[in-house]
Amino acid sequence: MYRLCRRSASALLRHDGARYNIHAIATPIFSATCSGDSVVETDAKTRWYSVLASGRCNTSQSSAALNLNKNGFFLGNRYESTAAFDASSPPPPPLEKYEYQAEVSRLMDLIVNSLYSNKEVFLRELISNASDALDKLRYLGVTEPELLKDAVDLDIRIQTDKDNGIITITDSGIGMTQQDLVDCLGTIAQSGTAKFLKAMKDSKDAGGDSNLIGQFGVGFYSAFLVSDRVVVETKSPKSDKQYVWEGEANASSYTIREETNPEKLLPRGTRLTLYLKHDDKGFAHPERIQKLVKNYSQFVSFPIYTWQEKGYTKEVEVDEDPAEANKDKQDETAEKKKKTKTVVERYWDWELTNETQPIWLRNPKEVTTEEYNEFYKKTFNEYLDPLASSHFTTEGEVEFRSILYVPAVAPMGKDDLINPKTKNIRLYVKRVFISDDFDGELFPRYLSFVKGVVDSNDLPLNVSRTYYEETLGSKGL
């Protein structure tokens, strides 16, 4: 290999190599003092020298001028494109940026109807959101006691109007400001809970595990499964004003306004009003709401009250028949007694719906046999005590707590004994009921008669919570 010094190479380019001899400009790379002839004599192979050239170049003429052929050398020319540096070339076309366009009403319909396969889960989702709002307030109240200055109990209340098809869900949680309404309800899949958990994680003062449930920001939109219109009234203790958010199922926009009616002001928290669709007004019956709460949200850590019709009996006087009154007057010696009848007085009042406590969260040494039996009867609608029970906690890839029962009465037939479709095992995630239909996945078929509950905090959170049944985590149980 030979290299050309920069000064000699540039001179070659200017004068086409006529005035220079190769021996003067080419030196071996291994020795700077050796002459060109000595190198040629020791190496008879033809060597190529590349010289940068601009424009046209006659290779044979340059080689003859440099007297290279007689020594077996050949001087080649390497051409490089200068198009990239040509200022006269036209610039590239401008890059245009566009935003994705979507029809919000259709996007909302896709989200709601593809994530939720069962309409009745709307109540579970909204109650879970209310529970998260209460948990946030309880957490922040430790460091900011002024948030709890309004002496309001931490609870959830559900009231229905079956005649007009209206459901109202009220919580006394943290509430939302105007900006929170825009961020959390005006942005699909924007989760205030997920943002709160991130703030807790980043905070140095964050401690303990959180019981917050929803983190995907689409649970609120499940209300449109059964509602034509949803109104959200909310008051945050961090703001002096109460705001009202209103949206419709088939609309591409929503409205936010300040509440000015003093009769509708809340001390703190959020009130959701659902105006049900014509075909879904059956959800506004108090009995059905109570049943759904007991099925899905029985073990939520905050009390849930439902507006129920109640009654009590009392004795009232009965007006005397005139004929009997004359008979009594004739019999003056007979003792007069007022006639009464029993009637039932009806009234409406709040009733605690989730009174059963999740005893699987307690230490097994602190739970009595009577408590196990009572929990078994209420959860599975049994009237006989179980033969045996097992309360345990398992740690590993998925940590979970469980209570299993052996019923007092065996299944009646062979089909019932090995039936894979039994709903005897109830899966909970953070005390929220998910499913009891696993087709023999959680338990082998020959143990399908065993009843019990399984609760885990480690299963991956999903938008609708119906995905748990197919996740690797649930199969790992």
The CATH number given to whatever domain includes residue 289 is 3.30.565.10
Residues 143 and 272 in one domain: yes
Residues 299 and 229 in one domain: yes
Distance CA 124, CA 160 (A): 16
- % residues pLDDT > 90 (the chain): 28
Please report which confidence band the pLDDT of residue 139 belongs to, taking 50, 70 and 90 as the band edges: confident
Residues 262 and 390 in one domain: no
Domain that holds residue 390: 359-476
Please report which confidence band the pLDDT of residue 222 belongs to, taking 50, 70 and 90 as the band edges: confident
Is 124 domain-assigned? yes
Distance CA 259, CA 347 (A): 31
Distance CA 174, CA 216 (A): 19
Is 95 domain-assigned? no
Q: 175 and 271 in contact (C-beta within 8 Å)?
A: no
Instruction: Give the end of a domain, one of 17, 52, 85.
Output: 85
* Better pLDDT: 323 or 50: 323
pLDDT on residue 462: 47
pLDDT on residue 19: 46
Please report which confidence band the pLDDT of residue 349 belongs to, taking 50, 70 and 90 as the band edges: very high
* CA angle centred on 474, ends 472 and 476, rounded to 5°: 65
Average of per-residue pLDDT across 323-327? 60
- Express each pLDDT in 62-111 by its tens digit: 444 444 444 444 455 555 555 455 566 677 777 766 655 556 666 667 66
pLDDT on residue 440: 60
Please report which confidence band the pLDDT of residue 463 belongs to, taking 50, 70 and 90 as the band edges: very low
Residues 289 and 161 in one domain: yes
Residues 30 and 146 in one domain: no
Computed over every residue of the chain, the mean pLDDT equals: 74
Is 339 domain-assigned? no
Is 315 domain-assigned? no
Q: What is the DSSP string of 129-179?
A: HHHHHHHHHHHHHHH-GGGG-S-----EEEEEETTTTEEEEEE-S----HH
pLDDT on residue 385: 94
- Express each pLDDT in 151-171 by its tens digit: 678 999 999 999 999 999 999
Residues 108 and 253 in one domain: yes
- Report residue 201: phi and psi, to 5°: -65, -40
Please report which confidence band the pLDDT of residue 172 belongs to, taking 50, 70 and 90 as the band edges: very high
Is 345 domain-assigned? no
CB atoms within 10 A of CB 41: 10
Residues 169 and 132 in one domain: yes
Is 191 domain-assigned? yes
Residues 146 and 231 in one domain: yes
Q: Which residues pair with 317 in a beta bridge?
A: 340
- Asked if pLDDT for residue 187 goes beyond 70, the answer is no
Residues 69 and 182 in one domain: no
- Express each pLDDT in 105-135 by its tens digit: 666 676 666 667 788 889 988 998 899 899 8
- % residues pLDDT > 70 (the chain): 59
Average of per-residue pLDDT across 5-27? 49
Is 350 domain-assigned? no
- Whole-angstrom CA distances from 58 to 12, 54, 63, 179, 196 are 13, 12, 9, 76, 76
- Asked if pLDDT for residue 420 goes beyond 90, the answer is no
Residues 11 and 70 in one domain: yes
Average of per-residue pLDDT across 391-419? 80
Domain count, the chain: 3
State the DSSP code for 251.
-
The CATH number given to whatever domain includes residue 419 is 3.30.230.80
pLDDT on residue 432: 85
Instruction: Give the end of a domain, one of 243, 277, 307.
Output: 307
**Sole residue written with tokens 């028949």:** 321
- Express each pLDDT in 236-292 by its tens digit: 998 899 999 999 887 778 899 999 899 999 999 999 999 999 999 999 999 999 999
Residues 453 and 387 in one domain: yes
Please report which confidence band the pLDDT of residue 323 belongs to, taking 50, 70 and 90 as the band edges: low
Residues 289 and 211 in one domain: yes
- Report residue 236: phi and psi, to 5°: -95, 140
Please report which confidence band the pLDDT of residue 30 belongs to, taking 50, 70 and 90 as the band edges: very low
pLDDT on residue 31: 42
Structure tokens at 345: 């007085």
Is 245 domain-assigned? yes
pLDDT on residue 449: 85
